Structures are given as structure tokens and as C-alpha cells.
Amino acid sequence: MIVLNALKLALRALKRNTLRSLLTMLGIIIGVAAVISVVSIGNGAKARIEASIASMGQNVVQVMSGNSRRGGVSMGFGSAGTLTKEDYDAIRKDVKGIAGISPEVRNNAQVAVGNKNARVSVMGVGADYPTIRAWKFADGDNFNEGDVQRAGKVALIGKTTAVALFGEGESPVGQIVRIGSAPFTIVGLLAPKGMSMYGSDQDDVILMPYTSSMKRLAGGTSFRSFMVQVEDPKNIDGVQAQITELLRERHRTTEETDDFMTRNQQEISEVATASSETLTILLGSVAGVSLLVGGIGIMNIMLVSVTERTREIGVRLAVGARGRDILMQFLIEAVTLSIVGGLIGVLLGWLASERLSSLMQTPTLIATNSVIMAFCSSALIGICFGFFPALKASNLDPIEALRYE
Amino acid sequence: MSTPIVQLEDFKKTYQSGDIQVHAVRGVNLTVQAGEFIAVMGASGSGKSTLMNTVGCLDRPSGGRFMLDGVDVSKLDRDQLADLRNQKIGFVFQGFHLLARTSALENCELPMLYARPSKSASAQKARAMKSLEQVGLGQRFDHTPNQLSGGQQQRVAIARALVNDPKLLLADEPTGNLDSQTSIEIMGIFQQLNDAGMTIMMVTHELDVASYAKRMVVMRDGRIVRDEQVGPRHNAAEELGKLTREQAAVNLAP
């Protein structure tokens, strides 16, 4: 009953000073809105990273040649070209629990159709590659193992490249394109996959048998990397260990001198999400600081309010309010301010993240727990920063308070 | 005889002001019975405000004894004093002390918000309304203080003082901020309340105002120097009639 009365009094007092109440709440409003929109942007980024990692393929172990830990200057993984056709065959033959395997050879080549031409990233891969990366076909079909054996002049084309060369709505399947200096027949159009986690367009690509790429385009005998798909996701670490062991044996290396690197999707996604989480925490804590500043604003105004209303407090004490009643009144006033501010902040933050997501073309994800957390912390701030002014009010001497000018 | 409402026995109050001890009240004996209308007079510094603060349970005596309606106030703590003020005393101040931007009705409800046990909201409203009607302001229950004249504000304050049915109405210079006509009107309300049985104790420095009371106490330097029944007592209705005739005469004069 006391609380209910105090709430009634608090609402009356806040209504009497609408503009000031609103300005006081502003700090909390901005703080909460900032926390919510920042966290929602962070969550959106995280979700996007997870999606693009998933687009790399399911249950995949990546084997990359080269080792940046060796030598004075690192050229990055894949630059050393230490993975050979023999390694590929050995993994294929000896490692248990593999669903599919494909090498990767990357080149850039001039691709031409009629009078249109473009420089495109051309990847030489195995027949398992589209399956490993869960890449669907919009039209046509995959090349087969036979094409790989005989280094056939067939290719798969990504959506972006297809549009660039053939225009929108035109199916490239069955068309002949010149890649480098050789003519290739397009046998399949790949379904769009979107941006990779590094921001490049995964659909601006041409895939062909790795044999064709090595023989007709770049030459060379080594692979940049292997993609290995595991049959049982639970066994992914086991397969990774088998591959590492096999390659160490073949390359006569130890952990320190490895000239290759294996990693699985789990590790990639952990690194990526960790970095996006760090960013979210950083931005979130900056927003949290503004929440704190909002709290100090509330304390400031409540102190002013207590001084200004000294006589009112005196009257209340004179007609029989206990110290506790006054404490409650001012505490509830502070908490009401911060909670109403928090609610407005949640609303604004939600609107802001909607707006941002359409403006920056990034998805945002409003997490329920960030809303609850921002709201609860604004209430807590009201209690913490409202307590001191309220205590001050409740300890006033009624005679002094009544005489206060 | 029934319990006196106010019973002060050798009441002393000493303040510490820096290094100096200020003896505000130096031993006062005063008994106020139910139904009395007593005016306390004195120059500033005579100790009358200190006396009022103590009788109003806003302060405790530093010496002697004070019994309010049979309760020894000296032994009570802050919360118990607050409850006592709430239940037994109605305050009327010189500066009205109404809550700004708050309707007359809500101002009247104020003491009931702190009453234990508390009444229901509708009962509070009804009681506040009745109180406002008692002072002739039933029509203006939704007016805020700045929409009311000084006399009307003081009436709201009186209505507020009455809502918890106090044993004692304490008025501190109730006419200090009012013109003579409104002062007489306020005194009229006090006389009516007193006639209906309310015990009233009023501080004033105007002899004219004190003459509306039944008993007059004069203080000087912390002591009571005179305590007597009011001789020719003013009657508010008569005085008001006199004043109106005088004003009419002034208006008629060229």
C-alpha cells in the first residue's frame, strides 16, 4: 500500500514537471537505445559471419599448403604449393571417414564470349566440390569424374559472371566461352551464394576440373588446398588428425616444421565470431558508459528536486509522513524516471537498428536478452543513483524544511 | 476531569548555536483542555515558535515533560512522532504550505496518504471533499493553489488539517499573510470549528486576532508572563458585519 501510494505520488510529481522529466530521462534513453542498437548490429554481423562460414560447406576440413611460420617473409598459406597430386591420392585412399575430397587451384583468367570479356577467378576443383560446399545448381549439372580424368574442356559458372557475360535471364548452359586461350563448354550454372566472410563475391567465379585448369591455364603441379568433407560431423577432429599424421609422414615434417596447415570449420567460425563478439562488447561498453552518465543525470536532477521541494518535504513530514515514506517517494520517482526512460530507449533502439539495417544493408538482430539487460540496468541505475538524494530528503528536519526559503 | 490535550510541565528547550547555548524556552507550565481556543502571543524571540514546534511534535523538549492527549512525547522516536502528528494534530501555517500544481482535493488527501491503516482511495476522496465543504470550498475542489486567493488557500489548508480528525488544531500565524477581511473570515471558521468541539491553539502577534480566542497566553523571553481569559471576545460574524458597513460608508462618501 505504501509502495502504491508512493508510486501515485511519484507519477503526480513527474507529470507536474514533464519537460524536466523528459530531459532527465534523455541520458537513459540514449544509453539504452545505444546499447540495444549496437548489440543488435553486432548480433547481425555475427549471424552473417556464421551464415557465410556455413556457405563454405558442411563438416569440412581444409588442408592448406605453405606455412607462414617458416622463413623470414610469410607469403600466406597456399603460396608455397607443397600439396601435390600424390598427397591428394593418398588422403583419398588412406583416410577413413571421408565423404568427399576436392583440391583447389586458383587462377585469374580472361574469359570471353563474343565481344564481352571479363577477368574472373577460375578455380580448378574436383567433381565432389559442389557437394562439399553445398553449392546447388540453378541450371545444368556438374561435370563428372570422367571430365576430371581427361581434363575436359567443361566449366561451371557463377551467377555474377554469368550475368556479366551473358546478361540477365539468359541461360549460359551449353554456351561456349573462351577461358585463357581455350574454348570451354558451360555445363552448369551455380545458384548464387552471396558474399564470403572476407567480403568477396563468391558468385564471380568459374569452376572447372583441376586437371583442365592445370593443363590448359596455369600449368604447375601443386595445389593451393584441399577441401575434405567428413561423413560424420562428430568425427571431424579424428579425420583432421588422420590427415595431419598422413601428410607429416609423407612430407617428413613435425609440428614445428609443418609445410601445410589443416583447419576445420569449427575453428574458423570460432575465430570469426570471437572477433565480432569483441567488437560488440567494446561498442556495448561504450554505450554502457552513456547509460552510467544517464544515471548521474538522474541523480543530479533528483538532488536539485529535493532541494527545490524542501518545503514540500517539510509539509509532508509535518502531516505525518515518516522518513521511510519520503525515501520511498523519491526513490520511486527516480526509478520511474529511469524505467520510463528505459522503455523509450528500448523503443528508440529498436527503431534505430531497423533503420540502420536498411541503411547499411546489414542485417540486425535484436536480442531479447540485450533488451531485458538494458531495461533492468536502467531500473538498477534508478535505484542506485536515486538512493542518495532520497536518503537526503528523508533525513530532513521538518522544522528546518518548513522554514526553508 | 478528562485528560488534557496539551500538558507541559516545566518545559525547557535549549539550542546549541555555535559555542553559545540559546535558551529558547526556560520552563513553561501550560495545560490545554479539550474544547479550548487558545492564542499564544509574544514578540519574535519570545519562544512561542519553539513552544508551537514542540506542541506540534515536530521537536522534543530538552527538559521537562510534554504530554499530548496523555502520550509522553519526550520518549518517542522520529517515526512515532510522525504517526502522532498524523493522528492527533492538524497544522495550519502562515504560508499555507499547499503543494503547488496540485488540486485542492489532492492537497486535502495528503495527510490520509500517510495514515496507518490507510483508507481506500474513494473513502479518502469522500473525506477530503467533506472537509472542503466544511470550509466552504466544495465548489473549488479541482482548483490548484495558484487559481485560489490567499484566503481560499488558507481554507484548503484548514480543510487539510481536519481530514484525519485531529485532537488539536495548531495554527502558526494563520492570518499573517492575509488582509483584514479574509483574516476575520478565517477566524470565523476557527470559531465555528471550536464551537463544534475542536481544540485550537494559535500563535499570533496581533492582539486583534488573538481576541477571537477564548484564552490568551503571552510569552516573553522563554517564559509565560500572562495567562488569562480573553476579555471582550470578538465574534467573527459581528466583526465582518461591522467591516462591511464601514466599507460601504467609505464607498458612499464622495
Q: Identify the band that residue A79 occupies on the pLDDT scale cut at 50, 70 and 90.
A: low
Q: How many CB atoms lie within 10 A of CB B10?
A: 12
Q: Identify the band that residue B132 occupies on the pLDDT scale cut at 50, 70 and 90.
A: very high
Check residue A264 and give its pLDDT: 82
Domain boundaries, chain A: 2-52+271-403, 102-227
Are A208 and A184 contacting, i.e. CB atoms less than 8 angstroms apart? yes
What is the spatial distance between Cα A384 and Cα A381, in angstroms, rounded to a whole number? 5
What ipTM is given for this predicted complex? 0.92
Check residue A70 and give its pLDDT: 47
What is the spatial distance between Cα A382 and Cα A369, in angstroms, rounded to a whole number? 20
Rounded to an integer, the average pLDDT of A135-139 is 87
Q: Looking at mean pLDDT, say which of A104-118, B175-189, B231-245 comes out highest.
A: B175-189
Could you tell me if residue B1 is inside a domain?
A: no
Give me chain A's average pLDDT, please: 84
Task: Answer whether B58 sits within 8 Å of A311, measured CB to CB.
Answer: no
pLDDT tens readout for residues A216-244: 887 777 888 888 888 887 888 888 888 88
Task: Answer whether A320 sits within 8 Å of B97, measured CB to CB.
Answer: no
A399 touches chain B (CB under 8 A): yes
Report which of A399, A322, A394 is spatially closest to residue B172, judged by C-alpha positions.
A399
What residues are paired with A113 via a beta bridge? Answer: A116
Check residue A6 and give its pLDDT: 72
Rounded to an integer, the average pLDDT of B53-72 is 91
Give me chain B's average pLDDT, please: 91
Candidates A2, A319, A324, A399: best to mutate against B (most CBs of B within 10 A) is A319
Q: Identify the band that residue A80 occupies on the pLDDT scale cut at 50, 70 and 90.
A: low
Amino acid at A156: L
Task: Answer whether B118 sits within 8 Å of A322, measured CB to CB.
Answer: no
Residue B1 pLDDT > 60: no
pLDDT tens readout for residues A342-367: 999 999 988 988 888 888 777 777 77
What is the spatial distance between Cα A244 and Cα A258, in angstroms, rounded to a whole number? 9
| 3-state secondary structure (DSSP) of residue A192 | coil
Q: Angle at which helices A265-308 and A368-394 pack, to 10 degrees?
A: 20
Element (H, E) at A329: helix A323-359
Q: Identify the band that residue A392 occupies on the pLDDT scale cut at 50, 70 and 90.
A: very high
What range defines the domain where residue B171 resides?
6-252
Count of the separate structural domains present in chain B = 1
Cα angle for residues B112, A395, A387 (degrees, 5° grid): 95
Residue B248 pLDDT > 90: no
In angstroms, the separation between the Cα of residue A321 and the nearest Cα of chain B is 5
CB contact residues (below 8 A), chain A span 14-73, against chain B: 16
pLDDT tens readout for residues A82-131: 788 888 888 888 888 888 899 988 888 888 888 888 889 898 999 889 88
What is the spatial distance between Cα B224 and Cα B205, in angstroms, rounded to a whole number? 14
pLDDT tens readout for residues A19-77: 888 888 888 898 888 888 888 888 887 777 777 777 777 688 888 887 544 445 555 55
Task: Answer whether B97 sits within 8 Å of A325, measured CB to CB.
Answer: no
Q: Which CATH number belongs to the domain containing residue B41 in this structure?
A: 3.40.50.300
Are A286 and A293 contacting, i.e. CB atoms less than 8 angstroms apart? no
Check residue A353 and give its pLDDT: 86
Check residue A266 and give its pLDDT: 74
